[in-house]
Amino acid sequence: MASARRRKPKILEHEYVPEHRVLSIEEARDLLKRLGVSPLQLPKISVNDPVAKALGAKPGDIIEIVRKSPTGGKVVYYRFVAAYGKS
Amino acid sequence: MPLPSRIPFYKETDVIDKIVFGVLSPDEIRKISRVTVVRGELYEADGTPVSGGLRDPNFGAIEPGERCPVCGNTRETCPGHFGRIELAKPVFIPHYTDYLYKLLQATCRVCGRITLPSEKIEKYRMIYRRLRARWPQLAKVFSERVIAEAAQATKCPHCGAQQYKINYVKPFHFYEHRGSEGPVRLSPEEVQDRVSRTQSEIEILGFHPERARPEHMIASVLIVPPVSVRPSITLETGLRSEDDLTHALAEIVRQNEKLRNIMMTNAPQTMIEDNWYVLQELVAGYIDNELPGARRLTHRRKRTLKTLAQRLKGKEGRLRGNLSGKRVNFSARTVISPDPNISINEVGVPLEVAMTLTVPMKVTPYNIEEARRYVLNGPYKWPGAVYVYKADEGRKYSLKYANREELAKKLKPGDIVERHLINGDIVLFNRQPSLHRMSIMGHIVRVMPGKTFRLNLLVCPPYNADFDGDEMNLHVPQLEEAMAEARELMLVEKHILTPRYGGPIIGGRQDYISGGYILTVKTSFFTREEVSQLLAAAGYEGELPEPAILKPGPYWTGKQIASLFFPDDLLFKGKSKTNAGDLSCPDEFCFHDSYIVIRHGRLLEGVLDKKAIGAEEPNNVLHMIALEYGNEAARRLLDSLYKSFIRVLELRGLTMSVHDIDLPEEARRRVEELIKEYKKRVYELYREYREGRLETIPGRTPEESLEIKIMDTLDELRKEVQTLAANYLDPFNDVFIMARTGARGSEVNISQMAAMLGQQSVRGKRIARGFRNRPLAHFKPSDVEPEAWGFIKGSFRDGLSPTEVFFHAAAGREGLVDTAVKTSQSGYMQRRLINALQDLYVYYDGTVRDSWGNIIQFKYGEDGVDPMRTYHGKAVDVDRLIEKARAMRARGGVKVA
Mean pLDDT lowest among A76-80, B101-105, B322-326, B353-357: B322-326
- Tell whether B177 and B193 lie within a shared domain: yes
B861/A72 CB distance under 8 A: yes
Q: Please give, rounded to a whole number of angstroms, the shortest distance from the CA of B849 to a CA of chain A.
A: 9
Q: How big is the A-B interface in CB pairs under 8 Å?
A: 41
Residue B153 has pLDDT above 90, yes or no: no
In terms of CA atoms, which chain B residue is nearest residue A76? Answer: B858
Those of residues 798-857 in B touching chain A at CB distance below 8 A are 845, 847, 849, 852-856
**Which CA distances in Å does B428 have to B333, B425, B473?**
12, 10, 8
B855/A35 CB distance under 8 A: yes
Q: With a cut of 0.85, is the ipTM above it?
A: yes
Which stretches within B75-135 are classed as H helix?
97-106, 118-134
pLDDT digits (tens, 9 = 90+) for B41-88: 888 888 888 888 899 999 988 888 888 888 888 888 888 999 999 999
Contact by Cβ (8 Å): A83, A59? yes
pLDDT digits (tens, 9 = 90+) for A43-63: 999 999 999 989 999 999 999
* Residue A67 falls inside a structural domain: yes
CB nearest to B862's CB, from A41, A43, A75: A75
Q: Which helix (H) or strand (E) holds B416?
A: strand B416-420
A41/B852 CB distance under 8 A: yes
Residue A81 has pLDDT above 70, yes or no: yes
Q: What's the domain range around A72?
A: 18-82
Look up residue B494 and give its amino acid: K
Partners of A36 on chain B (C-beta within 8 Å) are 845
B858/A36 CB distance under 8 A: no
CB nearest to A72's CB, from B845, B853, B859: B859
Residue A8 has pLDDT above 80, yes or no: no
Confidence of residue A1 (pLDDT cuts 50, 70, 90): very low
| B709 burial level (CB within 10 Å; 0-12, 13-18, 19+) | buried
Residue B4 has pLDDT above 50, yes or no: no
- Tell whether B293 and B200 lie within a shared domain: no
- Tell whether B305 and B353 lie within a shared domain: no
B15 or B638, higher pLDDT: B638
pLDDT at B719: 92
User: What would the 3-class secondary structure string for B575-617 be?
Assistant: ECCCCCHHHCCCCCCCCCCCEEEEECCEEEECCCCHHHHECCC
pLDDT digits (tens, 9 = 90+) for A19-39: 999 999 999 999 999 999 989
pLDDT digits (tens, 9 = 90+) for B715-730: 999 999 999 998 898 8
Among candidates B454, B458, B558, B472, which has minimal Cα distance to B515?
Answer: B558
Backbone angles phi, psi at A77, to 5 degrees: -120, 155
* Residue B896 falls inside a structural domain: no
- Tell whether B357 and B487 lie within a shared domain: yes
* Residue A41 falls inside a structural domain: yes
Confidence of residue A9 (pLDDT cuts 50, 70, 90): low
Among candidates B312, B332, B319, which has minimal Cα distance to B453?
Answer: B332
Look up residue B586 and give its amino acid: P
pLDDT at A87: 61
- Tell whether B235 and B264 lie within a shared domain: yes
- Tell whether B565 and B486 lie within a shared domain: no
Q: For B595-605, what is the mean pLDDT? A: 90
Three-state DSSP class for residue B471: strand
Residue B706 has pLDDT above 70, yes or no: yes
B138/A84 CB distance under 8 A: yes
Residue B356 has pLDDT above 80, yes or no: yes
* Residue B568 falls inside a structural domain: yes
Whole-number Å distance between alpha carbons of B299 and B245: 11
- Tell whether B318 and B345 lie within a shared domain: no
pLDDT digits (tens, 9 = 90+) for B436-487: 899 999 999 999 999 999 999 999 999 999 999 999 999 999 999 999 999 9
Partners of B861 on chain A (C-beta within 8 Å) are 71-72
* Rounded percentage of chain B residues whose pLDDT exceeds 70: 98
Query: What is the residue-averaged pLDDT of chain B?
Result: 89
* Residue B790 falls inside a structural domain: no
User: What would the 3-class secondary structure string for B776-799 be?
Assistant: CCCCCCCCCCHHHHCEECCCCCCC
pLDDT at B429: 97
Count structural domains, chain B.
4
β-bridge partners, B442: B428, B491
Confidence of residue B3 (pLDDT cuts 50, 70, 90): very low
Look at phi and psi of residue B179 and say left if phi exceeds 0, alpha if psi is from -120 to 50, else beta: left
| Alpha-carbon B367 to chain mean position | 42
| Last residue in a domain, options B652, B672, B696 | B652
pLDDT digits (tens, 9 = 90+) for B812-860: 999 999 999 998 898 889 889 988 999 999 999 999 999 988 999 999 9
Among candidates B181, B173, B178, B175, which has minimal Cα distance to B154?
Answer: B178
* Residue A7 falls inside a structural domain: no
**Which CA distances in Å does B258 have to B87, B262, B265, B272, B298?**
11, 6, 11, 10, 20
Q: Is B865 touching A (CB cutoff 8 A)?
A: yes
Three-state DSSP class for residue B220: strand
CB nearest to B862's CB, from A40, A41, A72: A72
Residue B277 has pLDDT above 70, yes or no: yes
- Tell whether B191 and B278 lie within a shared domain: no
Residue A4 has pLDDT above 70, yes or no: no
Partners of A41 on chain B (C-beta within 8 Å) are 849, 852-855
β pairing state of B83-92 and B35-36: parallel
Partners of B854 on chain A (C-beta within 8 Å) are 37, 40-42
pLDDT digits (tens, 9 = 90+) for B516-531: 999 999 999 999 999 9
Residue B194 has pLDDT above 50, yes or no: yes
* Residue B814 falls inside a structural domain: no
Interface probe, candidates A23, A31, A35, chain B, greatest B C-beta count within 10 A? A35
pLDDT digits (tens, 9 = 90+) for B765-822: 899 888 999 999 999 998 888 999 989 999 999 999 999 999 999 999 999 999 999 9
B862/A43 CB distance under 8 A: no
Q: Please give, rounded to a whole number of angstroms, the shortest distance from the CA of A35 to a CA of chain B.
A: 8
In terms of CA atoms, which chain B residue is nearest residue A32? Answer: B855
* Residue A33 falls inside a structural domain: yes
- Tell whether B486 and B383 lie within a shared domain: yes
**Torsion angle of alpha carbons B67, B68, B70, B71, nearest 10°?**
-80
Interface probe, candidates B854, B857, B876, chain A, greatest A C-beta count within 10 A? B854
* Residue B891 falls inside a structural domain: no
Q: Which helix (H) or strand (E) holds B419?
A: strand B416-420
CATH number, domain containing residue A67:
3.90.940.20
Confidence of residue B10 (pLDDT cuts 50, 70, 90): low
β-bridge partners, B183: B177
Q: For B865-870, what is the mean pLDDT? A: 88
- Tell whether B345 and B302 lie within a shared domain: no
- Tell whether B343 and B438 lie within a shared domain: yes
Partners of A75 on chain B (C-beta within 8 Å) are 858-859, 862
Around Cβ B779, how many Cβ atoms within 10 Å? 17
β-bridge partners, A82: A46
Interface probe, candidates B862, B870, B871, B876, chain A, greatest A C-beta count within 10 A? B862
A75/B865 CB distance under 8 A: no
Strand order in the sheet with B165-169: B165-169, B173-177, B183-186
CB nearest to A72's CB, from B135, B853, B863: B863
Q: Which residues contact B753 (CB under 8 A, 6 or more apart)?
A: B661, B735, B795, B796, B797
* Rounded percentage of chain B residues whose pLDDT exceeds 90: 52
| Last residue in a domain, options B217, B240, B266 | B217
pLDDT at B386: 94
pLDDT at B584: 84
pLDDT at B1: 42
| B236 burial level (CB within 10 Å; 0-12, 13-18, 19+) | exposed
Around Cβ B458, how many Cβ atoms within 10 Å? 25
* Residue A4 falls inside a structural domain: no
Q: Is B133 touching A (CB cutoff 8 A)?
A: no
Partners of A72 on chain B (C-beta within 8 Å) are 859, 861-864
Among candidates B428, B489, B487, which has minimal Cα distance to B463?
Answer: B428
Contact by Cβ (8 Å): B721, B751? yes
Look up residue B21 and give its amino acid: F
Around Cβ B647, how many Cβ atoms within 10 Å? 20
Q: What's the domain range around B345?
A: 331-496
Residue B6 has pLDDT above 60, yes or no: no
* Residue A56 falls inside a structural domain: yes
Backbone angles phi, psi at B597, to 5 degrees: -130, 120
A76/B845 CB distance under 8 A: no
Q: For B361-385, what is the mean pLDDT? A: 93
B863/A71 CB distance under 8 A: yes
Q: Please give, rounded to a whole number of angstroms, the shortest distance from the CA of B146 to a CA of chain A.
A: 16
* Residue B290 falls inside a structural domain: yes
Partners of B852 on chain A (C-beta within 8 Å) are 41
Among candidates B647, B644, B602, B635, which has minimal Cα distance to B504?
Answer: B635
Contact by Cβ (8 Å): B333, B639? no
Confidence of residue B301 (pLDDT cuts 50, 70, 90): confident
Q: Please give, rounded to a whole number of angstroms, the shortest distance from the CA of A11 to a CA of chain B.
A: 25
Partners of B856 on chain A (C-beta within 8 Å) are 43
Three-state DSSP class for residue B684: helix
Q: Please give, rounded to a whole number of angstroms, the shortest distance from the CA of B137 to a CA of chain A.
A: 11
Residue A2 has pLDDT above 60, yes or no: no
* Residue B477 falls inside a structural domain: yes
**Chain A residues within 8 Å of chain B (Cβ atoms):** 35-37, 40-43, 69, 71-73, 75-78, 82, 84
Q: Please give, rounded to a whole number of angstroms, the shortest distance from the CA of A34 to a CA of chain B.
A: 10
Which stretches within B215-294 are classed as H helix?
244-264, 269-287
Among candidates B603, B599, B479, B586, which has minimal Cα distance to B548?
Answer: B603
| Last residue in a domain, options B496, B520, B536 | B496
Torsion sign (Cα): B494, B499, B504, B507: negative
Whole-number Å distance between alpha carbons of B466 and B435: 16
β pairing state of B503-504 and B497-498: antiparallel
DSSP 3-state percent helix, strand, coil across chain B (nearest 5): 40, 15, 40
Q: Which residues contact B842 (CB under 8 A, 6 or more apart)?
A: B848, B860
In terms of CA atoms, which chain B residue is nearest residue A78? Answer: B858
Partners of B847 on chain A (C-beta within 8 Å) are 35
Q: Is B135 touching A (CB cutoff 8 A)?
A: yes
Partners of B858 on chain A (C-beta within 8 Å) are 35, 75-78
- Tell whether B375 and B470 lie within a shared domain: yes
* Residue A12 falls inside a structural domain: no
Whole-number Å distance between alpha carbons of B423 and B627: 30
pLDDT at A5: 56
Residue B136 has pLDDT above 90, yes or no: no
Q: For B338-358, what is the mean pLDDT? A: 95
B855/A41 CB distance under 8 A: yes
Residue B663 has pLDDT above 80, yes or no: yes
Count structural domains, chain A.
1
pLDDT at B844: 92
A43/B856 CB distance under 8 A: yes
pLDDT digits (tens, 9 = 90+) for B407-436: 999 999 999 999 999 999 999 999 998 888
Contact by Cβ (8 Å): B592, B578? yes
In terms of CA atoms, which chain A residue is nearest residue B139? Answer: A84
Whole-number Å distance between alpha carbons of B738 and B609: 10
B858/A76 CB distance under 8 A: yes
A78/B854 CB distance under 8 A: no
Q: Is B866 touching A (CB cutoff 8 A)?
A: no
Around Cβ B863, how many Cβ atoms within 10 Å? 17
Three-state DSSP class for residue B8: coil
B862/A42 CB distance under 8 A: no
Whole-number Å distance between alpha carbons of B185 and B640: 82
In terms of CA atoms, which chain B residue is nearest residue A70? Answer: B862
pTM (predicted TM-score): 0.79
pLDDT at B11: 58
